[in-house]
Structure 1
Amino acid sequence: MSDIKHFYYDNEQCEFVPVIYDKKKKIFNALSFWIINGIVMASIAIIVLSNFIGSPAEIALKAENDALMNQLQTTRVSITELESELSTISELDNEMYRSVLGLNPISDDERMAGTGGTDPYSDFDLYSEDASEILRWTASRLDNLERRLSIQKMSFEEIKSYYNENQERLKHVPAIRPVNGILLSGYGPRIHPVLKYRRMHEGIDFRANIGTDIYSTGEGVVKYAGRRGNYGLLVEIDHGFGYVSRYAHMSGFADGIKTGAKIERGQLIGYSGESGMTNGPHLHYEVHFEGEAVDPLNYLFAEITPEEYLMYKDIAENNPMSMD
């Protein structure tokens, strides 16, 4: 039976009146209530989630945007590394190549030359603050790198031109390592290992066991070969064009090495030792230009790599002691 009877007392009629409920209708009404409420709640959930999650197309765009932002961040790191490498090349260009060849160095202001006028990156302001900042940084750094590379290219072209026009002179420049040994101490003020006080060290010291071969670093004529005070056994070569090189604390000279002998670059001139005032066997090597001692490290350009130059420079700057 689908109908259910209930009674209530009617005061006006003074009798009980039956109330009939339709069970199916009651179930239908209950289901309708929950279905309607479910639809409403689902609609609210869809609206809320769409604001936070977005449509499939929006999700794909967000993922693409995140990937692009990550790539830009990676590009920033690469640009910073390239700037550092270019700074190293510029330093070598000024301190080694241009200095040795007698060419004027290029100032930092010239190398870092910027551009004036209107803002070339204003279009990036149309994007979000984060995107605008990254795009501005990247574009400006790339433009700066392009200008610096252009200046460096012109410098190398000038050096190449000078080299082609002055090959005879460059044969005489002391431009290779005089011995196969590790650099121990650099040019500049150093603490003397025997005298125990700080004084000017006018050369660089290479570790070399007694008897290690020593080579001339450029063409020239032997100016002196003999014993000279604290230098011990010394060979001094006049390369012409204002250049003189010295090789000290030797244990002996190669055959034919005497005053007036003509020397080729790379020719054996003697053997390392520990003669004179020294703290142990090594080669003390000096370069003089127009009567003044200069840093020999800057004259090894014909043989050492930029990485070796930086390594030697670091050793020279951080070791306060000399070997002689």
Structure 2
Amino acid sequence: MSKNRYYYFDHATCSFVEVRPPSSRRMLWILIGLVLILGIGGVIVWQIGGRLATPRELALEAENEALRAQLRRMTQKLDQFADRLNELAAHDQSLYRTLLQAEPISEDVRQVGIGGSDAYAAFDRFSKPTATLLRETSQKLDALERQLALQNASFRELLTLAERREVWRRQMPALLPADGPVVSGFGMRLHPILRVRKVHEGIDILLPYGSPVYAPGDGVVRETGRNSGYGNYIIVDHPATGYQTLYGHLSRILVRPGQKVQRGDQIALSGNSGYSTGPHLHYEVRDRQGRPLNPLQFVAPSMTPHEYQRLLEAAERSTISLD
């Protein structure tokens, strides 16, 4: 159908003139048409773009997936490491602390944690799978760091206890101080000179005159001297154990007060000084309060200085052969 035309009568020219729409109206319709075309095109491009990623976007997505896979592998390694650390903690609790008589670490302390605000909130800006993976990995890393710090502190404590235990072991008077038979024990007996029943506060070891006398444990010489009862005597402190040892009836003293001695060091020669009926060594062990203790409760009677030296030499030969 042909488009209708409209005319008006022009009195100036005495003729009919066709009515034409103004040019601005035509431009408006043109603009509206362009806007519609662009809008429809944008929608189509947006729809297609949602389905077809650019090569750069595809590369970034592949890189992100690789990083997520690496994080998942690292999380599995962290789980394995946590299992080993838990085994170590179990040994710490059931073995090392038992052997060293240390107080056990409470379960509340072992289950170390943190409180306060969410330390992992920054991960929430990522996609949910990525944020969840980052949060789990970070939580495991932080828990392991705290557990390692606790275990490290525990081992430092146990090392200190072990070192103290070693000092205590070295200072324990665990040897007989001379190679000879015990001829008089600890306790009540008839005094050989006074001929009355009296507590014998040590043991007597039968020795030829001038036989070596050895330190039964590491210590420091507290006192040397002479009196009517013990004759020439030595007192050695073993401070880590709380014990003192005394050696009486000596013929010669080979150490001085303040001198450090080690187990097996020769400190004197036996004799017959003081109240003594013949050459022998009188040996005592006392506690912190000065109360006498039976020396034989600290040693096996066969553990003489000679036997101790033999064991040391055997151990040294064994070490050399291993090297």
Question: TM-score, normalised on structure 1?
Answer: 0.42
Higher RCO (CA 8 Å, separation ≥ 6 residues): 1
With structure 2 as the length reference, what TM-score do the two structures score?
Answer: 0.42
Larger radius of gyration: 2
